[in-house]
Each structure stands twice: as structure tokens, then as C-alpha cells.
Structure 1
Amino acid sequence: MKRYLLKDYIDILKKENLVEDVCLCDSILNTSIEKLEHNSKEVANNTLYICKGLNYKPEYLNEAIVRGATAYISEPENVTDPDFPHIVVNDIRKALAAVSCMYYDFPADKINMIGLTGTKGKSTTAYYIKSILDDYMKEHNLPDTAIVSSIDTYDGKECKESLITSPESIDLQEHIANAVDCKMQNLVMEVSSQALKLDRVHDVLYKVGVFLNISEDHISTIEHPNFEDYFASKLKFFAQVENACVNLDSDYIDRILENAQKSKKIITFSTKNEKADVFAYDIKKLTHTSISFRVKTSKFDEEILLTMPGLFNVENALAAIATAMVLDIPFKNIYNGLKVARASGRMEAHVSKDGNIIVIVDYAHNKLSFQKLYESTKQEYPDKNIITVFGCPGGKAQLRRRDLGTLSGIHSKVSYLTAEDPGPEEAVDICKEIAEYVAKEHGNYKIIEDRGEAIKEAILDNPNSVVLITGKGNETRQKIGKKFMPCLTDTQYALEALEEYNKKIG
């Protein structure tokens, strides 16, 4: 990999008007930077160290210097060693993103970057797009598609479960560089509101950017103080997008389209507006796990088959089709890709032997995703009771407790409230808070802190029901305190309970 000199990093920071002062001697300007770090424990000789983070402490810089840092980058308030070579910047997050791009030799310029933002549907849509592109690439004997999502991250060199939706800029640039090294042509990634607000994707230009929808979420003291801050963060996305794919069925569509004008081209999709560039009609549920619809564009009017449940997934499929059209992917690859597309832990349907119980494992975890899930479930299973198993995370997005409790109280025969990454809080306290909102809607609820037990009881004690297990999908870790503790996935818990049920009925 190409190595840049310290002076090159200073130049790029100056080019972006981020530099306030440069305090170092000319003799080190030609030093080759061998490592870029914001973790002081990982610093080695010839490292450019970044003083960043809400929890930054002066001792971190001291450790970085001892370990061999050449210089450090800091905002004015964190210049705790004025005698050591340093660059003072006015925005440490943008600075980190800029130098990360340079350190990895601007990899995003060498691959088709496809970004997705929105309140609901990012992961499923990302995997729909990947499946379409993989079908096309396989046909042409080319490498498959990289993905950075809230489910997992795959860059050609490694595949791992993700802890956050959009990684820090230096980690993101490494994944993009790995994909480029592996000769991949496309990378699909979810772009969270936090990534946009905190400039993790600063300096990344997207060949295609998808805006799925917007609804109130991530409102807390450590995320967004209010909906306007959340929405404004999402809208920043369009300034980095060449071709914008926009859902005309989203709330606040006029404001979204106004901001989408920052992109060179806008492609619209809809299940309601026939004037959309990509329009779905004749939507049908075929089985517990399949849906068909027709899609009309300027190039074709054809039938599509999805083998994931959830009528709302038609919108996600339209977003993937719009993306594929921008990239000139033929219809046959679109059809083939969508037919086999899966997103782990998203709308996974499992049915008991007698067909009496349908279990759906989904990642739904906010107001919009719950609304869509209940709407689809009632439409698809009008004769069955709805049972919901869920919780809310600790230490963030506190409004979800009200929103999800209210919705479950309205739509569920019984709400099973359980642990869902309680983090710094006690799971039972979170459940009790949710229960207040369930009760306000005259809903029935049970608090069972053990997630596996909650899922088991929900399935075994509720015949003729659709059991919705939401919030964690196929995650294998539960955040308790500051630690991520290993656990079974919701699918594993569900299958164990269904096996027990099937044995009972013979």
C-alpha cells in the first residue's frame, strides 16, 4: 500500500480548511507515516496519532508519544503537550475522516460505493442489492460484493458480525481498501444518522445513494437531541451522492426531494405513485415465505418473486431494483438476485408442523418498523392472534419504550417484555417502563427477563398465533453493562421452542 508523508497529511487537512495551526519542525515533514491511530495502545513508531473522542484523556497522548508517535492531530482544547509535534484542527472528526482516506490511498474512488440511509429497511435492502450484484458478478466470473451492515461486515478479506451500523472512518476506509485489494467492484453499506452526524463517512462519495424513509428514532442525550437533528443528519447524505434513489412513499417526501436535488440524478420508487421511475403493483402474498409483484420501469414491466415474508419488503426490493438500474444490471440478474435474497434475522418465518403457530424473527426495533410489521402481519394473517416478544436497549433511544410499548399494547394479544441489550440499565427496569405504555392501551403483558424463556413461553402458550420476535434478529451477543455476552440467536431460541411444540402435538 502506498505510504504518504506527514506533509501530505497536512496538505489534505489544509485543502479542506481544517487546519488552525501547525506546530512542528520542517525536519519531520518528510517522515513516512506507517500507521494512523486513535487508540493510544496501538501506536508504534512513525504513527500519526489522532486525539479524538468524548472520553479522551491527556494520558492517552502521553502513552502515544512513549510508544513512538511522530506527531498528533488535535482540536485546540486537547493540545496537552504543546512541545511535541502536532497539528491543530477545527474539527477532529472531519480531520480523522480526511487522513483515513489518504492513509488507505483513497479507496472509495476505486470502487462503486452504494449507500443506504433511512429509519427502516437498510439491512434488508443492502442484502437485496448484494444478491442482485452477486448474481451479475458470478455470471461474468467476477468477485462478489462487499457489504458493511448492521448484521455483518464482509470486505473480501474478513467476514464478521457487526457491533454498530457504520464503523468509525478509519475502520470503514480499511474495509473499503480491503475490498479494492480483492478486486471487488461494488461495496454496499448502511449509512446511519450517527455516521452522518459524526462525519464517519466524510469524503466518501457514493455512486448510488438510497433514501428509504424517515420516522422519529435515535432521540436521546447520546444520539440526537430531537427529531430535527436526526432528520437533518440524514439529509446530509445527499451532498455525497451522485445518483439518489428516493422512496416517494416516505413521510416528509417534499423535504427529502428538495435535498435530493444536491445529487446529479434522482430515481424515484413507489408502491402508490404510478409516476415513480420504479413502480410496484399487483402485490400478492403467495405463501408464508413468498411474495410476488409486478414492477414497471422505463425499461421493463415484469413480475418479481421475493422469498422473504413481509409485504413492506416490496419497498425494499424497489430500492434495490432502482439501484441496479443505475448500475445497468440486466433484469434477469435483478430477478434471480431478489428471488434468492436473504437478510439474516430479518423477516425469518418458521411454521409449526400443524400450521397453528407462525414465528417471525425480525430486527424491528423502532416505531416505523413496528408499524410496518403490524400492518403487514394483520394483512397477511387476519385470523390469527399477534404475540410480540421484545425489549428496548439501555442508555439510548428512550422514546422507543413509549412508542413500542404503545404499538404492542394496541396490536398484540400479549406482549412479552424481555432483555434486549440493557447495557448500563437493569433489564427489568426497562421492561417495567415499557409495560406502563402497554397497559395504557389496555394490553396484556408479561415480564420475563430471560430472553430465551420469554420466547419459549410466547410460542408454547399461544396457539393460533403469529409470534413476532423483534429487536435482535440473529445477533449472538447481548450487551450487559459494558460487556457483550454470548447468547443464542432469536432464531435458535424459536426453533427450540417449535421443536418442543411439534413433539407435544405428535
Structure 2
Amino acid sequence: MNPKHTLKEYADALTRAGLLTASTLTPAAEGTVIDCLSYDTRSLHGTSLFLCKGAHFKAEYLSAAIAQGAAAYVAEKPYPVDAPQLLVSDIRYAMVVLGQLFYDHVTDKLTSVGITGTKGKSTTAYYVRSILNDWLTSEGKPPCAILSSIDNYDGVITEESHITTPEVLELYQHFQNAYDSGISHLVMEVSSQALKVGRVRGMTFDVGAFLNIGTDHISPIEHPDFADYYASKLKLFDSCRVGCVNTDADHAADTVAHARSSGCELITFGSHASDTVFCERVEKRADGLYFTVRSPKYNGEFSITMPGLFNVSNALAAMAISMALGVPEEFVRSGLRKARANGRMQVYESRDKRVTVIVDYAHNRMSFDALYRSTRVEYPGKEMISVFGCPGSHALQRRRDLGELSGENCAFVYITEEDSGEEPFAQIAADIEKHVKCPHLVCEDRAECIRRAILDHPEPHVILLTGKGEETTMKRGREFVPFLSDVELTLKYLAEYDEKEAKA
């Protein structure tokens, strides 16, 4: 159990960090021992220190916290309540300072891997997880923890994920759960927003990986422009001991230069003979993708069974990370071979092979472009049909990007619901539709779009069903409501197609 601290100790930590601007702690209050640190009234227990943060914060939340036993609060401005206050200049950094003290710097107690990039984060994380699990199991150790945009596992919690990188205190709790469960390694995706707003500030990853950079998450509430987006991604190198960089990615030279200037040890991977992990040949066979690698630690032919030529790059990233962690080659081979990421490049076919459905989480220009190019190579002679939407209120550039790409590559496009949140679906759809230059249909009912994509097109076709994967919820308003996953709907309507064809 972590040691508990007094309000004075928390105030002193804020002072040392240069954050504390004012305090109304009395000598009597200073000795109060804190049981709970939180910004969520639903999680309060015992004697708590409450944090006032977030765009949706309301003063009544603080009043409720005090009624539930909060001994003091931390905020950037005072509130008219009867409780001691610790005023700070930066509430987000204050969460890091206070959280690290509360959780006894638990992020330093595990071997951690942070992965960023515009595309491929989840797949790479699952490759690394599979490799590490083979290695750890061979030594009688628990499987590694993972925090991803697909799901989270920390030894205590197994849950579907709704955010790429958890908020600060939730992140530390995942590390604490893993540590308490005897887990030695944790692999996580690190989003540009997490890096920009400081969710991983104060952490040092044993290995960080920069997969690629494209144009995404450009909006008034995320990144104002590409420069801000790229600069945020590069912050990963300020928080890792070893940095792995894909030299095949755009802006690779700048990324490598920044990694070097940050002082971390550098490992490169890609298709250049000068790369630390060099891939010199790729071949598609019936049972997977085979590629030949030369590196200081791993050499020869390796293979993956997840479809998609672009996944070779993700596998190279996993190999670079494994090299930094000292994983023996045999576990790299076996882990890559058996790795699976739910909702990533899952392929389903009708009995007559005329209809192929690829379920994938592709959701931005870079991932769509890679998916279309790979599909065209792997399924020659089949027309492509896309079923997708865009989330509400953020990543606004995707609407143009995905509309243009789908129109250029597909015979037909279905524009449908995809976590519209607080923005009307009609507005999102209109923003996409004006860029789609091929036959298409706008239909909010995602299940109906999948049904029609499978049943209503006579020519042999590949359906690219993107954005949701195996997620079982849909964001409407501020709530995530139950919703059949794309995989479940695909299996349902392929069965209907097979039955229809059998009677024909």
C-alpha cells in the first residue's frame, strides 16, 4: 500500500513545482491525511482532495465533493465554498504533481512502452503485447498490461476503451493496478492530445516509438494546424530512454533529428539499409506476410498473419521495441506470428467468396489510404465499397479527407453514424458527402448500411467497414449507448446473404 500524505505535503509538492499561487490552509488543516485524490465526485471516498478541472466543470461539482468529505480543493480560481483552497497556475500540471505523490511514482515501477503515430498505434501495441506475453509466460510471469484505443487490461480491469490515452489519475490507477497484480510490463498508446496537454508529463517510458505522422486531429479543440500536431507528437522523445523511429514515414529526418537532440538512445526501423532494423524483402503467401530482416539482434525471415501490407511496418516497430527491451528472438518470431488486435484487419467472406468484408479501425487519411492501396493489391478484380462516418466535434479535416479518398477509390460509399456525440449526424454527413465523387448513400442507421453493402451489390466486392471494429457502444450526446459491433453485424448479414444465395 502506498504511503498516505497530508494536505501540507501536497501543498509543499505544488510549491516545489512552482505551481502554488495561493493557499488558505490553516495549521489545523495542514495535518489532514488524504485518502482519495480525484476530480470525479462519483469516485470520492474517505477524506479527499478534490481537483477542479475540465471544460465541463461546474461549481456544483465542488459543492457535492465537499458534502462527500473533501477536505480541500485545488483549482485555478477560488470558488465561494467553505473549504480550504490550493490555487495553482496550471491545473493539468498540478494533477501530475499531486498524482505522482499520491500514487508514489508508480509509473517508475513498471517497464513501460509508449507508442505514438497517426496510424498503427493499436496494431503495434498488440504486436508488442503478444511478443512480451510469450516471453513473460516462458519465465512464469504475468502477462503484460495494455492501454489502447481498443481495450485496457491492467491485471484488475479489463474494459473496452473510449479514449486512446487515459486522463492522468486514471492512467496512474492503471499502473497501480498492474503493479499490485505483479505485472512487470505495460504497453500503451500515446495520443497527440495526451502529449500536448501533459497526461504523460512526469513519466519516463523505457521505450517510445514514433510510427508516422500525417494530417489528423486538426480542429479548434485539438490542434490548430499540422505544426502543432507534429510538435505534440515529438514530445514523446522528451519522455523516453530509447526512441524508435520509422524512417519510411514522412518527415523522418526531422523526427530522427529531434529524437537525437532529446538525448534518448535511437533505434531506427524501415526499408533503408542504414536502419537499425532493416526490412529488405516482403512476400505475401497463403498463410501470411513474410519479410526478411537484418538487425543487430534479429535476423532472417519473420512473418505475420494479420492482413495488410502496411502491417509489416508495424511489425518492424514491434521488433525495434523488443530489441530495446532485450526480448530473445524466438519470442519475437512466435509473438508476431500469433498476434491479433480485435477489430483490426478482420476479414470475413461469404460462402461463394463473392463478398469480402474487412473490419478495421481505420479512421483518418493515412489509414484509409494504406487500406485502399493494400486492398487493391490483395483483392484484384473486386470493386471496393466503403461504409464509414466521422466523429462529432473533432478531427474535422477527416470529413474532407475520407470523403475524397473514398470517392477516388470506391465503386460505392455509405456515409453513416460513427460516434456523432453532441454534433448532429446530418451536419457531419453533409461535410463528408460534398467531397464524395462516386455513387453513395447517406444513412444514419449503421446496421442498415452494412446490410445493404453486403446484400445489394451484385458484382464481387470488398466491403471496407471502418472506424468501429469490435466496439459495442456508440457515442450519442455525452453518453456511450449499447450498439452491435461491426463484427456482429457483418456475421449477421453475411449469414443472411449465404442463406439467400443457397435458395437462389
- Residue 269 of structure 2 aligns with an amino acid whose one-letter code is F
- Of the structure 1 ranges 107-116 and 444-453, higher mean CA displacement relative to structure 2 is found in 444-453
- Of the structure 1 ranges 494-503 and 197-206, higher mean CA displacement relative to structure 2 is found in 494-503
Query: Is the 8 Å Cα contact of residues 269 and 277 (structure 1) preserved in structure 2?
Result: yes
Query: Is the 8 Å Cα contact of residues 45 and 70 (structure 1) preserved in structure 2?
Result: no
The aligned residue for residue 378 of structure 2 is 380
The aligned residue for residue 496 of structure 1 is 492
Q: Distance in 2 between matches of 1:37 and 1:299?
A: 44
The aligned residue for residue 448 of structure 1 is 443
How far did 1:46 drift? 1.9
- Residue 266 of structure 1 aligns with an amino acid whose one-letter code is L
How far did 1:108 drift? 0.9
Give TM-score, length-normalised by structure 2: 0.96
Tell me, which stretches of 5 or more residues in structure 1 are unaligned? none
1:409 counterpart (398, 407, 410): 407
- Residue 442 of structure 2 aligns with an amino acid whose one-letter code is I
The aligned residue for residue 482 of structure 1 is 478
SS where residue 5 of structure 2 aligns? coil
Answering whether residue 98 of structure 2 is matched by residue 99 of structure 1, we say yes
SS where residue 245 of structure 1 aligns? strand
SS where residue 387 of structure 1 aligns? strand
Matches within 5 A, 1:291-310: 291-310=289-308
The aligned residue for residue 264 of structure 1 is 264
- Residue 370 of structure 2 aligns with an amino acid whose one-letter code is K
Provide, for residues 370-422 of structure 1, a one-character-per-residue CA deviation record: whole Å limited to 9, x for no partner: 11111111121222111111111112111111000000000001111111111
Provide, for residues 312-336 of structure 1, a one-character-per-residue CA deviation record: whole Å limited to 9, x for no partner: 0001101111111111101100010
Query: Is the 8 Å Cα contact of residues 63 and 81 (structure 2) preserved in structure 1?
Result: no
The aligned residue for residue 13 of structure 1 is 14
Give TM-score, length-normalised by structure 1: 0.95
Runs of 4 or more, structure 1, over 3 Å off, are 40-45, 81-84
Provide, for residues 223-276 of structure 1, a one-character-per-residue CA deviation record: whole Å limited to 9, x for no partner: 122222211111111111110011111111122112212142010000x21211
SS where residue 164 of structure 2 aligns? coil
Q: Distance in 1 between matches of 2:155 and 2:194?
A: 23
SS where residue 34 of structure 2 aligns? coil
Q: Distance in 2 between matches of 1:329 and 1:492?
A: 36
The aligned residue for residue 59 of structure 1 is 60
- Residue 421 of structure 1 aligns with an amino acid whose one-letter code is D
How far did 1:30 drift? 2.6
- Residue 466 of structure 1 aligns with an amino acid whose one-letter code is V
Provide, for residues 447-468 of structure 1, a one-character-per-residue CA deviation record: whole Å limited to 9, x for no partner: 2221111111112233311111
Query: Is the 8 Å Cα contact of residues 304 and 338 (structure 2) preserved in structure 1?
Result: yes
Query: Is the 8 Å Cα contact of residues 243 and 267 (structure 1) preserved in structure 2?
Result: yes
The aligned residue for residue 354 of structure 2 is 356
How far did 1:290 drift? 2.0
The aligned residue for residue 34 of structure 2 is 33
SS where residue 291 of structure 1 aligns? strand
The aligned residue for residue 214 of structure 1 is 213
- Of the structure 1 ranges 305-314 and 257-266, higher mean CA displacement relative to structure 2 is found in 257-266
The aligned residue for residue 108 of structure 2 is 109
The aligned residue for residue 341 of structure 1 is 339
How far did 1:299 drift? 2.3
How far did 1:115 drift? 0.4
Query: Is the 8 Å Cα contact of residues 268 and 275 (structure 2) preserved in structure 1?
Result: yes
Query: Is the 8 Å Cα contact of residues 241 and 263 (structure 1) preserved in structure 2?
Result: no
2:395 counterpart (380, 394, 397): 397
The aligned residue for residue 457 of structure 1 is 452
Q: Distance in 2 between matches of 1:160 and 1:107?
A: 21
SS where residue 438 of structure 1 aligns? coil
How far did 1:62 drift? 2.4
Query: Is the 8 Å Cα contact of residues 237 and 264 (structure 2) preserved in structure 1?
Result: no
How far did 1:21 drift? 2.6
SS where residue 494 of structure 1 aligns? helix
The verdict on how the C-alpha distance between 1:281 and 1:350 changes in structure 2, with shifts beyond 3 A counting, is: farther
The aligned residue for residue 71 of structure 2 is 70
How far did 1:82 drift? 7.9
The aligned residue for residue 244 of structure 2 is 245
The verdict on how the C-alpha distance between 1:206 and 1:379 changes in structure 2, with shifts beyond 3 A counting, is: same
How far did 1:477 drift? 0.6
Provide, for residues 416-452 of structure 1, a one-character-per-residue CA deviation record: whole Å limited to 9, x for no partner: 111111122332432232121012xxx1112222111
How far did 1:61 drift? 2.3
Provide, for residues 20-46 of structure 1, a one-character-per-residue CA deviation record: whole Å limited to 9, x for no partner: 233312233232110001123544442
Name the Cα RMSD after superposition. Answer: 1.5
Answering whether residue 124 of structure 2 is matched by residue 125 of structure 1, we say yes
How far did 1:297 drift? 0.6
The verdict on how the C-alpha distance between 1:502 and 1:44 changes in structure 2, with shifts beyond 3 A counting, is: closer
Q: Distance in 2 between matches of 1:490 and 1:393?
A: 16
Provide, for residues 268-320 of structure 1, a one-character-per-residue CA deviation record: whole Å limited to 9, x for no partner: 000x2121111123212223x72111111112322111111000000110111
- Residue 445 of structure 1 aligns with an amino acid whose one-letter code is H
